[in-house]
Chains A and B, each alone.
Chain A
Amino acid sequence: MRYLKIEKDRTYEFLEKLKKYGKLYAPVKISDKFYLRKEIEDVKEIAFDYQRTLLPLKKYFLPTCEKMFDIDIEKNEYRENLEKIEPFVIFGAHACEIVGLRILDGVYLNVYPDIYYARRRKAGIIIGLSCLPDEYCFCNLRRTDFVDIGFDLFFHELPDGYLIRVGSQRGHEIVDENIELFKSVEQKDIDAFREFEERRQKSFKYQGSFDNIRYILELTANDRLWDEESEKCLGCGNCTMTCPTCRCYDVQDIPRINLKSGERIRFWDSCQFRSHGLVAGGHNFRETKKDRFFNRYVCKNSYFYPLGTSYCVGCGNCTYFCPANIDFQKNLDKIRSNYEVIHG
């Protein structure tokens, strides 16, 4: 892998230059508690030390609501909505989010590639940024705290700038086109990088392994914990909307008022909604709130074969944004410790 360094005062210059590759999106602080990723006019407003944004990275590739087709009802025709997608740059993606995007790639670009997602994925440049975990993060347990593939450039914080990893051909090209901004990496930078990574590993609240949590979960499906915790759940779906890997969507045909034309749209859906497991005739495969609640835990903890990781990347978003204070990680931990008590 190619490593480079950029000094702090040149970083803003580089960010400014990124705008020529497309619209620049980065996290911005919008209130005391919240950050939002949005289009950047002034690079000085970019937040470098953010933990999580209101909506995850997936919103740029799988928009909250998207027109798939224009419908001509009279002619019975569907015209796909393939307006040109302009290139765009995302700065400041954390490692867990990049793994999350790779999971979405596995789903959306598999045997039946999704053209809408694929086009956006091709247009997007991803620039990662290192972070220090807060109390909600457990990407170390998920082994997504470090990422090797899925970004064009990755910025690692140093005391006087950033150590940059180049992760793709496009990344190389961007670096080469702005080579005057970069320096080569020296031993002191490598030492500082190592020191940062060690500090980072130590600051995780949870240590250990989650490798067998999916088996434990399955074996404790009747645990009282699920009754108690699902009782608190409001069924609002916030956990799934803020999850970087939740990918469910619903589709609807919306006719215009003249009933001659319309559009087919898709929009984010959530397994926490009662309608999600409903089939024709009214039978519901996940009838109760507990069924739906437990379903999210098993879905997120199941194994994603192409990456060898679970669907959950340990970002902590679902817990942070839960209005009922349901702690996803803590629940898993309880299940894990119960099991260890039982099985020694």
Chain B
Amino acid sequence: MDNVYSVYKCRVLRTYDLTDEEKLFLFRFEDSVIAEKWGFIPGQFVQLTLPGVGEVPISICSSPMRKGFFELCIKTAGRVTQKIHEMKPGDIAGVRGPYGNGFPVQKFEEKDLLLIGCGIGMAPLRSVFMYAVDNRWKFGNITVINSARTGNKLLFRKELEAMRDMAEAENIRIIQTVTRDPDWPGWVGRAQEHIRHANTNPKNSYVCVCGPPQVYHEIFEKLIEGGYNPRNIYVTLERRMKCGVGKCGHCIAGSSTFLKYICIDGPVFGYYDIISVSGLI
């Protein structure tokens, strides 16, 4: 029997400062066989280990189409992530996974796609976005709403800015919006206020949302008001996961009629899961 808790060695190839708190890491498996074999679905996460320090669950933020390596966007939020931020190209970490269900991207094909990321929530959605860009012909119009408090807190800001011209030609609308930055020249306001500016047809769209728990209700309200089908709304959630495989119990949510493990039943949930399982958001 394989040990599900065993980690595979990964080397950091590149690091990139996204904001003052978030860093992007490019990893490659040391074992070339694993590197070839390894794949994931956008929305899945890995357990990243720093030997002797600990393990943290992190969403994968690169495209699954790009084989052999993967990217993780990591925010300094605790002891382990602080240590991870000290890693440099060439350093080794441990990875196991991918875990979780991921977004049903196959279902999204031939439909418009609206991605709403608030703060660090943009990280897992970047994986969906890049997958859609890599398979551009399979999708209809795409809108990304990337929101943060200030301009320099916007994740992947430069990357998204850089593709703006190409994006317009490809029917991809990028809305980067901030709430508390008087110097910001672009869109202003919370993510939900820009749903109406999306180029997606509400009747024919899938929506992916990720952000802090407080924002979901308002985003749902605006989406449904705007004519988006609740059945086509997906969210991805965050919890503290020690095992990632439905054992340690830290990510259990819900009540007596529906008990869900975020790690194996999620982290991606549909709108109707959210409203029938209390405590998910």
Contact = CB atoms under 8 A, between A and B. Distances in A.
B72 to A, nearest CB: 13
Contacts of A251: 54-55, 242-243, 248
A215 interface: yes
Contacts of A283: 212-213
A267 B213 CA distance: 29
B245 interface: yes
B238 A280 contact: yes
B242 A249 contact: yes
Given A76-B9, A285-B239, A298 B3 contact: no
Given A112-B245, A113-B1, A249-B247, A80 B6 contact: yes
Given A111-B264, A250-B248, A255 B1 contact: no
A237 to B, nearest CB: 13
B247 A279 contact: no
Contacts of B246: 107, 110-112
Nearest to A282: B77
Interface in A259-293: 259, 261-262, 266, 269, 271, 276-281, 283, 285
Given A73-B51, A251-B248, A285-B279, A112 B4 contact: yes
Interface string B35-65: 0000000000000010111111000000000
Given A78-B7, A111-B264, A114-B247, A218 B238 contact: no
Interface stretch (A133-141, A155-163, A299-307): A299-307
A276 to B, nearest CB: 6
A298 B250 contact: no
Contact of A250 (B7, B242, B254): B242
A115 B54 contact: no
A262 B52 contact: yes
Contact of A278 (B52, B81, B240): B240
Contacts of A60: none
A77 B5 CA distance: 13
Interface in B249-268: 249-250, 252-259, 264
B178 to A, nearest CB: 19
Interface string A104-143: 0001101111110010000000000000000000000000
Contact of A252 (B54, B239, B252, B258): B54
Contact of B256 (A71, A250, A298): A298
A248 B278 CA distance: 20
A78 B51 contact: yes
B77 A280 contact: yes
Interface residues of A, number: 55
Given A262-B52, A278-B240, A80 B259 contact: no
Contacts of A299: 252, 256, 259
A295 B252 CA distance: 10
A249 B4 CA distance: 15
Given A249-B249, A301-B256, A113 B4 contact: yes
B88 to A, nearest CB: 14
B186 interface: no
Interface string B177-201: 0000000000000000000000000
Nearest to A260: B52
B51 A72 contact: yes
A117 to B, nearest CB: 8
Contacts of A302: 254-259
A343 B245 CA distance: 40
A253 B256 contact: no
Contacts of A280: 56, 75, 77-78, 81, 238, 240
22 contacts: A76-B9, A76-B92, A78-B7, A80-B3, A80-B6, A82-B3, A111-B246, A111-B264, A113-B1, A217-B255, A248-B249, A249-B243, A249-B249, A269-B248, A269-B249, A269-B250, A279-B238, A297-B256, A298-B254, A299-B259, A302-B258, A303-B259
Interface of A: 68-69, 71-73, 76-78, 80, 82, 107-108, 110-115, 118, 213-215, 217-218, 221, 246-253, 255, 259, 261-262, 266, 269, 271, 276-281, 283, 285, 295, 297-299, 301-303
Given A285-B279, A298-B256, A298-B259, 16 more contacts: A76-B92, A78-B51, A80-B6, A111-B245, A114-B245, A115-B4, A214-B255, A250-B250, A251-B55, A276-B250, A277-B250, A280-B240, A285-B213, A298-B254, A299-B252, A302-B257
Instruction: Give me the 6 closest cross-chain CB pairs, A-B, nearest first.
Output: A248-B249, A214-B256, A280-B77, A112-B245, A73-B52, A302-B259
